[in-house]
Amino acid sequence: MHISFTDPTLPVSGTVAAGVYSGGELSSAAIELDKLTGGTLSRAIKADRFNGDAEQLLNIVAPANTDLERIVLFGLGDRNNASTIAVENAGGLFAVKAANLSISATTTLLDTPEQAAHFAYGVMLGGYRFDKYRTKEALLPATLTELKVAVARPEVAEKLFGPLLAVAEGVYITRDLIWEPANVINPESYAHFCRSLTSEGLEVEILGEEAMHELGMGALLGVGQGSDRESQLVILKHNGGGPVNGAEGSEVPIAFIGKGVTFDTGGLSLKPSVTMDTMKQDMGGAATVTGLMVALAKRRAKVNAVGVLGLVENMPDSKAQRPSDVVKTMSGQTVEVMNTDAEGRLVLCDALTYTQRYLKPKAMIDLATLTSAIAIALGEEIAGVFSNNDELVTKVIAAGDAVAESVWRMPMGSYFSKRLTSDIADMRNNGNKPRLGGSGVAAQFLHNFIENDTPWVHMDIAGTAWTDEAFPTKPKGATAFGVRLLDRMIQDYFEK
């Protein structure tokens, strides 16, 4: 999609769009359109009961006194309280409407540069499609290919849009990775893709199984031992905050760790076939970290950040680990594997230990499609967060609220620790009371691998990484939940 910002001149043909505030109050741009059409907009608003509330659209075909094909009005909500979220949602809904009406090019009139930038951002987020494998033209949905945004001071809008575009491109990468089928994305091909990210300015390091064996990553390697695809640990570095590698005055990085199970059969604890086709999504945490790191690099964020991806494939093979196997983690702690389908925490625990010992971050946030229990508790729009640090988790919550990616803090503590008691090892990998407190037990397991009270947040995105229902800026399918949230958190609290 080509997006440009231009001076606010009313177009004479094609499709034009403009905003309306709650109560049917026309925006400045819509007022000019109303004059041009002899009051057509005002009459259509009254006739259609369109009142300008957020997420409303009104399509006016062949408006009077013009050669325009149509005018599309979008609701912006309360004029005195209009948020960037409302503007972004308007853009996302407009992108869908344009596709449904086979509109390929349009001019949108906005009142301020801020509105213009965030509307275009919403159009990108809501207009995303994954059509890579559609070969028949009839199956290809229409898409908006050219968006002109007309606004006073277009150069200001374009400057504001630059960082938003970087984040949108990160979102696209995350969504693409999650949508890809598991015969395309596996640990090795994912790592190969990450090598290409050096072109974005990221440093990339990849550890194979031999290196991980030497480090003692028995938990992560145990998950992948039933697959003929070699497990990988990928480290992505963005050095935008100053000197690194222990140099004088160096900025300690913030770390993001992603679970990357590129396909999860459940291993020998085999999943039901009715849901297994969705298990290509089980690398959603790693995909989110990847998209975030690309966004930081593209917008040249003034922060040092590292992303660590634990990439495995969990398959049932004669070499696969068995229920009751005991593995030794990189931390030295031992785990009795009671359920091979509780594998994500085994991947993350070794990735967390590696991150702390070799990258020495100031704080860590891990993301994982970890438990179905969190989706049962919070649904598809709210992620669960667990933390050992009130200050860090408060920043995560605030950033989520700011970008409409809500999270809810969940409890941890001795109740969940007791559920992890093993008869023969330091801990077991699932709770000893199945189906009770599953998300809390998983988080408590991970907490056992946090060293020296490193500030840490665990984000369980099992319910939010994928949606079967379209939202204004999140089309059906992969959502990239967390990319916008964590980018905002870095902007607000960690950038210089």
Per residue, the 3-state secondary structure of the chain, as one string, reads CEEEEECCCCCCEEEEEEEEEHHHEECHHHHHHHHHCCCHHHHHHHHHCCCCCCCCEEEEECCCCCEEEEEEEEEEECHHHCCHHHHHHHHHHHHHHHHHCCCCEEEEECCCHHHHHHHHHHHHHHCCCCCCCCCCHHHCCCCCCEEEEECCCHHHHHHHHHHHHHHHHHHHHHHHHHHCCCCCCCHHHHHHHHHHHHHHCCEEEEECHHHHHHHCCHHHHHHHCCCCCCCEEEEEEEECCCCCCCCCCCCCCEEEEEEEEEEECCCCCCCCHHHHCCHHHHHHHHHHHHHHHHHHHHCCCCCEEEEEEEEEEECCCCCCCCCCEEEECCCCCEEEECCCCCCHHHHHHHHHHHHHHHHCCCEEEEEECCCHHHHHHHCCCCEEEEECCHHHHHHHHHHHHHHCCCEEECCCCHHHHHCCCCCCCCEECCCCCCCCCHHHHHHHHHHCCCCCCCCEEEEECCCCCEECCCECCECCEECCCCHHHHHHHHHHHCCC
Q: Is the dihedral of CA 454, 457, 460, 465 positive or negative?
A: negative
Residue 3: pLDDT band with limits 50, 70, 90: very high
Quick count: other Cβ atoms within 10 Å of Cβ 137?
6
Residue 245: pLDDT band with limits 50, 70, 90: low
Residue 15: pLDDT band with limits 50, 70, 90: very high
Mean pLDDT, the chain, rounded, equals 95
Q: What is the pLDDT of residue 143?
A: 83
Active-site annotation holder among 148, 298, 345, 484: 345
Q: What average pLDDT score do residues 400-429 get?
A: 97
Q: Which tokens is 412 given?
A: 């941890």
Residue 49: pLDDT band with limits 50, 70, 90: confident
Active-site annotation holder among 97, 271, 302, 360: 271
Residue whose C-alpha is closest to residue 286's, from 395, 187, 403: 187
Lowest mean pLDDT among 5-19, 166-180, 201-215, 329-343: 5-19
Q: What is the pLDDT of residue 496?
A: 82
Residue 248, pLDDT above cutoff 60: no
What is the C-alpha separation between 108 and 384, in angstroms, rounded?
A: 37
What is the C-alpha separation between 56 and 48, in angstroms, rounded?
A: 11
Residues annotated in a binding site: 259, 264, 282, 341, 343
Residue whose C-alpha is closest to residue 325's, from 346, 299, 296, 295: 346
What is the C-alpha separation between 112 and 258, in angstroms, rounded?
A: 38
What is the C-alpha separation between 441 and 156, in angstroms, rounded?
A: 49
Structural domains of the chain, ranges and CATH numbers in brackets: 2-153 (3.40.220.10), 167-493 (3.40.630.10)
Residue 275, pLDDT above cutoff 90: no
Residue 131, pLDDT above cutoff 60: yes
Tens digits of residue pLDDT in 300-356 = 999 999 999 999 999 999 999 999 999 999 999 999 999 999 999 999 999 999 999
Q: Against a cut of 0.85, is the pTM above it?
A: yes
Q: What average pLDDT score do residues 18-30 get?
A: 95
Residue 247, pLDDT above cutoff 90: no
Lowest mean pLDDT among 117-131, 133-147, 329-343, 344-358: 133-147
Residue 283, pLDDT above cutoff 70: yes
Q: What average pLDDT score do residues 92-121 get?
A: 95
Active site residue 271: yes
Residues annotated in a binding site for Mn(2+): 259, 264, 282, 341, 343
Residue 142, pLDDT above cutoff 70: yes
Q: What average pLDDT score do residues 159-182 get?
A: 98
Residue 258, pLDDT above cutoff 90: yes
Active site residue 345: yes
